[in-house]
With several copies, the nearest count.
Chain A
């Protein structure tokens, strides 16, 4: 039995799940204390859980590897998942290291070392998929390092800018 607190688009639910109490593909969970029948087509391969029936309602879903979002025909929803019986350490976001979120070519560097920047301020322009894309500051601060220059090809995840 796991007791899990799920916050979706800012709204929280307490869910109790016991995967060992399955009857074939069916399972009863409780949500905020109320029972709810769920059908899991392939619970042994959770990385491939492409869809699920909650009550009678089917959802085709994609769940982020880090459980930060869930996507369905209703769109993408932000998630915060906490296991009430385990200490879950979540990766810390928003540190000052700005990495290339896409592979491409740097077309312009918009900041210099030492410059003050606001969170969300464009730092670098990267051309990828025939589009020019703004890469923005993950937080406010002072630019402590610039690792790229215009014309340079960058791979996914390459460190571009550091904000101190």
Chain B
């Protein structure tokens, strides 16, 4: 096993990785940009080093330099940043530092999404129809022709993408141009390249991904599947495991497909094989994420396996040491991503200083976050600042407990999407468990309050108004308010 792990990431995932390293007795090195000096990962690590170049977490040379200087023998990339960067993986190998993830060639193969789908199709897997290559902003005519071949509805996706940015649904031909332009702009802004490709949109559908662990000795096991259909702006919002709408036969079929696909691509470490499942239960393979996922805690909760620990063990060359039949999937888990954004103002980002931050607790509740009372949520990074993961014996108990935990989360100083989550878990199709990706396309912000709560909150507002007035009056010199002042003990004349 390693001695010292450098975590080339920030935020809740850096905190998450540091925790497991310490549980395993490994030393840790955290990195931070100035905006993050107050984040928790900086304090919880054994050593913390500032990144001072403009490139920050994408500065290969600076990060490798720090790893060498501090004697780190492994680098965990988390998700995003350097997690799927073949050149960085090669540079780690050259520096003699273990990269916690698959080999560079595997990552390169998977990163070419069109190529990966083609290879899967040739091996006999079902994939969505898609464009044969990527298109630049100047190739709109060619793109239009390709769109006609694939047929509508379709999805415009960024080739460099991931995490939903630069993805747009196009329902009919007249929407193609504006949606392509939007996708290009977003992709250029977030990933630095405007190139996009097209993929058949399967509507309605479910997003299902299977969590796998693959060691370097040929053993691959799954930890069940997760649903990720509930999104906003192509960003997953709430994930659950297992997927509630799959039959046991469908479920086992998807597990088997996922393991075969991982074997086809030579995956190593923790990876997720993603499918779109149509109304008839037919899974279409879309891509493999060869890294830890934001939503990994739900799989940890149903399997009771620490996925980060397994990543580190696999990267150190250890065999998993257990078989599929040793893994018991038990109960139900859900995760809500808590974002710094304003649901009453079109979900605009809401960075700033937290005044109050009190996470829910008790049985079956887990919170992963870099935040605490009075810390800053920097505008520089993505808006996920906390994740609430909840376990229950069955789906009903899990939903009830998630509802309770959402109500108990106390955050002030910024706006968050907590109210949106409260609506989601109260929606009828969510409760029935037969929701699809169409779930996200409807408004969800009608009030939940009953009449009595509304009256009570009106009273609270009136008292807040009166109390503030009283304080404002106290701050104003008495004589201004009354004509009196301390020195004047008689009535003014």
CB within 8 Å of B: which residues of A? Answer: 2, 4, 6-9, 11, 13, 15, 17, 19, 24-25, 27, 29, 31, 36, 38-41, 43, 46-47, 49-63, 67, 69-77, 79, 81, 83, 101-105, 107-108, 125, 127-134, 136
Whether A29 touches B459, Cβ cut-off 8 Å, given contacts A46-B470, A77-B447, A132-B189, is: yes
Contact between chains at B462 and A60 (CB < 8 Å): no
Contact between chains at A19 and B470 (CB < 8 Å): yes
Cα-based distance from A76 to B461 in the complex (angstroms):
12
Q: When A and B form their complex, which 10 residue pairs have the shortest distance between CB atoms, in order from nearest?
A: A46-B467, A15-B462, A56-B47, A74-B449, A54-B456, A130-B382, A129-B349, A73-B407, A6-B458, A75-B419
Cα-based distance from A157 to B355 in the complex (angstroms):
21
Whether A131 touches B165, Cβ cut-off 8 Å, given contacts A101-B345, A102-B351, is: yes
Contact with A along B455-468 (1 / 0, CB 8 A): 11111111111111
Whether A49 touches B189, Cβ cut-off 8 Å, given contacts A36-B459, A58-B48, is: no
Contact between chains at A59 and B465 (CB < 8 Å): no
Cα-based distance from A137 to B57 in the complex (angstroms):
36
Cα-based distance from A69 to B468 in the complex (angstroms):
15
Contact between chains at B189 and A107 (CB < 8 Å): yes
Contact between chains at B422 and A15 (CB < 8 Å): no
Known: A6-B459, A46-B464, A77-B447. 13 other contacts (CB 8 A): A4-B465, A9-B454, A11-B454, A25-B37, A54-B460, A57-B46, A57-B47, A70-B461, A76-B343, A127-B189, A129-B349, A129-B380, A131-B165
In the complex, chain A residues whose CB is within 8 Å of the CB of B351: 102-103, 128-129
Contact between chains at B460 and A61 (CB < 8 Å): yes
Q: Among B34, B423, B458, point to the contact of A24 (Cβ < 8 A).
A: B34
Whether A57 touches B459, Cβ cut-off 8 Å, given contacts A41-B37, A128-B379, is: no
How far is the CB of A126 from the nearest CB of chain B, in Å?
A: 9
CB within 8 Å of A: which residues of B? Answer: 29, 34, 37-38, 42-50, 70, 163, 165, 185-186, 188-190, 233, 235, 340-341, 343-346, 348-351, 356, 379-383, 407-408, 410, 412, 419, 422-423, 445, 447-449, 452-471
Contact between chains at A56 and B463 (CB < 8 Å): no
Cα-based distance from A9 to B449 in the complex (angstroms):
10
In the complex, chain B residues whose CB is within 8 Å of the CB of A53: 42, 48
How far is the CB of A61 from the nearest CB of chain B, in Å?
A: 5
Contact between chains at A76 and B419 (CB < 8 Å): yes
Whether A74 touches B447, Cβ cut-off 8 Å, given contacts A103-B351, A129-B351, is: yes
Which chain A residue has the least Cβ–Cβ distance from B42?
A58
Contact between chains at A101 and B379 (CB < 8 Å): no
Whether A57 touches B456, Cβ cut-off 8 Å, given contacts A39-B37, A47-B468, A127-B189, is: yes
How far is the CB of A20 from the nearest CB of chain B, in Å?
A: 9
In the complex, chain B residues whose CB is within 8 Å of the CB of A41: 37-38
Q: Among A8, A130, A131, point to the contact of B458 (Cβ < 8 A).
A: A8
In the complex, chain A residues whose CB is within 8 Å of the CB of B38: 41
How far is the CB of B420 from the nearest CB of chain A, in Å?
A: 9
Whether A131 touches B459, Cβ cut-off 8 Å, given contacts A43-B467, A53-B48, A105-B189, is: no
Cα-based distance from A149 to B412 in the complex (angstroms):
33
In the complex, chain A residues whose CB is within 8 Å of the CB of B381: 129-130
How far is the CB of A41 from the nearest CB of chain B, in Å?
A: 5
Q: Among A70, A77, A131, point to the contact of B349 (Cβ < 8 A).
A: A131
How far is the CB of B16 from the nearest CB of chain A, in Å?
A: 17
Which chain A residue has the least Cβ–Cβ distance from B471?
A46
9 contacts between A and B (CB under 8 A): A2-B465, A6-B461, A8-B457, A19-B463, A76-B343, A103-B351, A104-B349, A107-B189, A132-B190
Contact between chains at B470 and A59 (CB < 8 Å): no
Cα-based distance from A105 to B466 in the complex (angstroms):
40
Which chain B residue has the least Cβ–Cβ distance from A13?
B458
Contact between chains at B461 and A81 (CB < 8 Å): yes
Contact between chains at B465 and A67 (CB < 8 Å): yes
Which chain A residue has the least Cβ–Cβ distance from B412?
A62
> Chain B CB within 10 Å — which of A53, A54, A73, A125 has the most?
A73
How far is the CB of B343 from the nearest CB of chain A, in Å?
A: 7
Whether A127 touches B190, Cβ cut-off 8 Å, given contacts A9-B449, A75-B447, A108-B185, is: yes
In the complex, chain A residues whose CB is within 8 Å of the CB of B461: 6, 8, 63, 67, 70, 79, 81
Q: Among B46, B407, B422, B464, point to the contact of A49 (Cβ < 8 A).
A: B464
Cα-based distance from A73 to B407 in the complex (angstroms):
5
Contact between chains at B457 and A130 (CB < 8 Å): no
> Chain B CB within 10 Å — which of A2, A38, A105, A128 has the most?
A128
